[in-house]
Amino acid sequence: MRAVRIGILGPLEVRADDDSSVYVAGARLRTLLIALALAPGRLVPIAQLIDGIWGDQPPAGAANALQALVSRLRRALPGLALESHPSGYRLALDPDAVDAARFERAAAAARSAGDDAALEDGLRVALALWRGPALLDVAKSEYFAAARTRLEELRLTATEDRVEAALRLGRGAALTTELTTLVAEYPLRERLVGQLLRALVAAGRPAAALAAYERTREALADELGTDPSAELTALHTAILRGELPPPSAGPASAPMPAPAPAPADRPAPRTNLRAGLTSFVGRDADVAQVRALVGEYRLTTLTGPGGSGKTRLAGEASRGLVEATPDGVWMVELAPVGPGADLPAAVLSALDLRDQMFPAAPDDNTAGRLVAVLRSRAALLVLDNCEHVIDAAAELAERLLGECPGLRILATSREPLGITGEAVWPVEPLALPPEHDGAAGDLLAFDAVRLLADRARAARPGFTVTETDAPAVARICRALDGMPLAIELAAARLRTMTVEQLAARLDDRFRLLTGGSRTALPRHQTLRAVVDWSWGLLPERERVVLRRLAVFAHGATAEAAARVCGDGADVLDELIALSDKSLLMVHDDGDTPRYAMLETIKAYGLERLDDAGERDTVRRAHLGYVTDLVEQAEPHLRRAEQLQWLRRLGAVHDDLAVALRGAVAAGDAGAAVRLATGALWYWWLSGHRAEGAELTTEALAAPGEGDDIVRATAYAGLAMIATAGLGDEREVRGWIDEAERLSRGNRTNPLLRMVGGMGDFMKYGDEIFTESMTKLLDDEDPWVRALGRLNQARLLPMADRLAPCELALAEFRGTGERWGISFALTTLADLLARQGDLAGALRHYEEAAGAAGQVGTTEDLVFMRGKEAQLRWLLGDAEGSAATLAWADREATGLAWPDSVAGLALYGSDLARWAGDLGTARSELARAEALLTTISVHPLFWAMVYDSRGHLAAAGGDLATAGSERAAAAGLALTVGDEDVIGRVLVGLADHALRVGRPADAAWLLASTTALTGGLDRSRAEPVAAETAVRAALGDETAAELTAAAERELADLDATTAISRVREMAESVLGRPVTGPEAGGTA
């Protein structure tokens, strides 16, 4: 297949370049293709695709599942240019390859044809592309509802425009059947009704036209409680009087309702809208939606904070309505109008009317004269900047709309006018790039970045977003919340500053972002003036809440705001009022609404908080709130309800750092440590272990006193985090010792009980550790009991571990705690994989990854996926292995822990080497080493690195280097004593023995894995390959005899003597001492 064409205007249709049809099997594959085809040539974010395919029930590891679907789609359609990007996927097609895009282009071309005959023919051709309802394959999906509605609206509008052209051409009589069917399907669509009335009159059936009008009037009253529009009423009146004029040629109408016939003395459509001085970037969907709202509602208000682009959007949207509005579109700029001023006079001034033109009015005031002027007119008024005269604007709008049936109003304001029948369209910030910065080309897909680049080119000709500048450009746009005015002010600074300099100085944004256009309103010339204007309109109680709310990192619930901003009193009314005034945003994720503010408003609020002298008081209230919340949540995090509590804590995640560091800065070390202790398990579960370790260390290092048990628990938490990767053994010992010293044997907190057992192991070895874990089996907490059983099982002989691990899994399932379930599953998976049950191990890993993904333990999940990738390769699924590893690699790049990324690189190096790709294997190993040298890690990591070096050198034929690396690996492994690493290194030594012609010694080394580690690890490729090579070299019988003899020899030795005997064999095979370098050194 060389190319594809995709049809979504009806059932999904895919055609090859030879016009043959290609069937796409599978509902999810078709859904994925449709989601991509709706945006040909544009990047579709991963989260959107997951939402479109699975809705509110995504699978565990949804991104991985999506990647698998993409792979299947590529196989199904080899000619499909489907590109992968870090943040999404892109269908690299010419838009005309998709019938929906081709339809829109053809319809636009027809409308620009210039005469009715060409318009009718062009739209007929465009509409012929439709084969049925749009997106029929996903008709029941809520995700596609908006796209489906939009396409159907475009189809209807094109049909109406085609009919309009035919009516003007005098073909009305031929349209009656088609229009009767359309009106039956869309009985409340007044433009279609008006066209049917005109067609029936043209066919000589005025009585049928009047009856059709009555049916519509009754339907509108019954369904919507409204009367027919002024236009339809005027048309009805004209039919009654026999005054309906013949159709006349003219340009195609826009989606506004068909205008009423104009009196002979009515002036041609006109406007006072000014042409834009700069390009209009983005907001295409907003423009279309606002025009649709203006057509449907008589009052539409655009709301948003200052600088969000309300005025520009109103201008662009209304500019396209001028031709469809008989008496024109008029911009009324209310910014210069002060409170108490004559608002109707400002409207009359904008209309440029002289007193002698006024019709007689029943009252002689300005409002009465304005009503008299507009009563018989079909016009659109744009009332711009209503917020400072909101009451007067609302009163005037209500009167005008009530007494002038042909009038429509489009208003802009920082809050709605609040009158009946108002449609509100919030003007959102421009689309922002995600937190993980992409390439320069990817960034330009986001409107905020495009605006910055466009305005920067005006300030500094030749400006482009380079790969070097891209991260700083993304930071600027995010820091400025995607607000157009702030971005334009920032772009002007690029005349004399670099992008990096500008990004670095945005902490002082109010001083930096000045010097806007000299002709702009004064409040739009600096960023501070924009916010000052809104602040000045607030009553004092709302100012208090707004400045205090700024202490929250990303907003707060009403409950939290009452605690911190209202001294315990309810502040919901103030939160709602501030939201209505566009100073707060309401985020409703299905739990509890949160009230948040843009970064610029937050910075301003903090300044005002300082001015009021309230910063320290509000800081303490905020600290108290988040501390109480984490302490309330902590026990629930080890139970089935943990996801609910993780969501609650996730919403205040950044508040934890803000509150803790604020306490440290204020010298309140005890409060800081208390908060850290309460948050430790949240940080562990949610994938923020590095951050949690950093914050806890800061709290413990701060001068000041605190509760000993609380501090002991904090040290225990640090030790627990360190054992997952951060920190070396000496640090862990120090933290455990400090926890023991401060707790004085008091292990009331589960963390102290768990870490106390770790301390016993480090000090006294396996026997005492086993005793400590045995004590936990009688613990009152079922979660602690399950963990104790699992840890105890890990010290049993390999053959005896399976049953207690399965029991521990059952106990964790009983608690419903997902991390424990995942931990038990991975332990079982490791056991099964070592024994050679790779398929069973993979199933356990997949379930474990699902559980870990639910809670967000990304560090664990990355390691699981790395192991999964290896198992898939060993099971013959090379493509699935590559996809799994690629997913894990993407996730790992966002981790703060280098050892997680390094561990994954080791997996990748192994996989590449197994596949014979030594170049990739070396580069991945080098990546792992580079990361490991930046941190302090357990020596076992370096033992694995040296072992991988040895395999690579041997595969390249350099046995001398291989021997050196393997000596280093053996020295570390035999010293550290980790059974998994020892088993891995012994296999490497066996491989070396085979390569130097000593297969009997290779058999002995493989047999030694049974004595030292419980058996050969069959979850990796090397042990199986070495075992096969030994049998091939010696014969099955001899190999079996040598293996049995070696196992008997080592079984009679204690552990220390067995290690010494293995060391002797290693030195004999390698021809050099096995002492090993310092971890991280060179072999």
What values do phi and psi take at 299, rounded to 5?
-130, 120
∠ CA 826-829-831, rounded to 5°: 115
Give the torsion through C-alpha atoms of 143, 147, 152, 153, to 10 deg. 120
- pLDDT reported for residue 734: 83
Cα–Cα distance list, 167 to 177, 251, 891 (Å):
14, 12, 59
Q: Which H/E stretch holds residue 660? A: helix 653-665
Query: What Rg do the C-alpha atoms of the chain give, in angstroms?
Result: 36
Q: Quick one: how far is CA 1061 from the chain centroid? A: 56
For helices 572-580 and 540-549, the axis angle rounded to 10 degrees is 90
Q: Which H/E stretch holds residue 330? A: strand 329-333
For the cut 70, the answer to whether the pLDDT of residue 262 exceeds it is no
DSSP for 812-859 reads HHHHT-HHHHHHHHHHHHHHHHHTT-HHHHHHHHHHHHHHHHHHT-HH
- pLDDT reported for residue 652: 93
Distance CA 74, CA 64 (A): 15
Q: Which amino acid is located at 880 in the chain?
A: G
Higher pLDDT, 715 or 939: 715
Task: pLDDT band for 502, please (50, 70, 90 cuts).
Answer: confident
pLDDT in tens, 801-859: 899 999 999 999 999 999 999 999 999 999 999 999 999 999 999 999 989 888 888 88
pLDDT in tens, 958-1006: 999 999 999 999 999 998 777 889 999 999 999 999 999 999 999 999 9
For the cut 90, the answer to whether the pLDDT of residue 585 exceeds it is no
Reading the block at residue 333, the tokens are: 């700029």
pLDDT in tens, 131-165: 888 988 888 888 888 888 889 889 999 999 999 99
What average pLDDT does this structure show over 98-110? Answer: 89
Distance CA 44, CA 48 (A): 7
Distance CA 215, CA 200 (A): 15
Closest CA to 431 of 444, 454, 447, 455: 447
- pLDDT reported for residue 518: 45
- pLDDT reported for residue 813: 95
Reading the block at residue 805, the tokens are: 């691990």
For the cut 50, the answer to whether the pLDDT of residue 251 exceeds it is no
Task: pLDDT band for 361, please (50, 70, 90 cuts).
Answer: very low
pTM over the 0.75 mark? no
DSSP for 527-551 reads HHHHHHHHHHTS-HHHHHHHHHHTT
- pLDDT reported for residue 359: 46
Burial 591-611 (b: 16+ CB within 10 A, else e): eebbbbbbbbbbbbbeebbee
Task: pLDDT band for 500, please (50, 70, 90 cuts).
Answer: confident
Region of poorest pLDDT, from 531-535, 646-650, 766-770: 766-770
For the cut 70, the answer to whether the pLDDT of residue 726 exceeds it is no
Residue owning tokens 């682009």: 309
Reading the block at residue 882, the tokens are: 């590559």
Q: What region, left, alpha or beta, does residue 465 occupy, with left being phi > 0 and alpha being psi -120 to 50 degrees?
A: beta
Task: pLDDT band for 436, please (50, 70, 90 cuts).
Answer: low
Strands (E), 345-418: 380-384, 408-413
Cβ atoms of 197 and 167 within 8 Å: the answer is no
Distance CA 574, CA 543 (A): 9
Mention every residue, 6+ apart, whose C-beta is less than 8 A from residue 1026: 987, 990, 991, 994, 1002, 1006
Reading the block at residue 743, the tokens are: 């707790």
Write down how long the chain is.
1083
Region of poorest pLDDT, from 86-90, 415-419, 425-429, 737-741: 86-90
- pLDDT reported for residue 203: 85
What values do phi and psi take at 331, rounded to 5?
-85, 125
Higher pLDDT, 443 or 995: 995
Reading the block at residue 395, the tokens are: 């009163």
- Coil vs helix vs strand at 661: helix
pLDDT in tens, 511-562: 776 654 544 444 545 777 778 878 888 899 999 999 999 999 889 999 999 9
Reading the block at residue 167, the tokens are: 């009516």
Region of poorest pLDDT, from 258-267, 637-646, 910-919: 258-267
Cβ atoms of 10 and 133 within 8 Å: the answer is yes
The per-type count for the chain, helices as H runs and strands as E runs, is 50, 14
User: How much is the mean pLDDT over the chain?
Assistant: 84
Percentage with pLDDT > 70 across the chain: 89
Burial 546-563 (b: 16+ CB within 10 A, else e): bbbbbbbbbbbbbebbbb
pLDDT in tens, 1027-1044: 999 999 999 999 999 999
Percentage with pLDDT > 90 across the chain: 35
What values do phi and psi take at 768, rounded to 5?
-70, -40
pLDDT in tens, 591-643: 688 899 888 888 889 999 999 999 999 999 999 999 999 999 999 999 999 99
DSSP for 732-763 reads HHHHHHHHHHHHTT---SHHHHHHHHHHHHHH
- The side-by-side arrangement of strands in the sheet containing 43-45 is 43-45, 88-91, 82-85
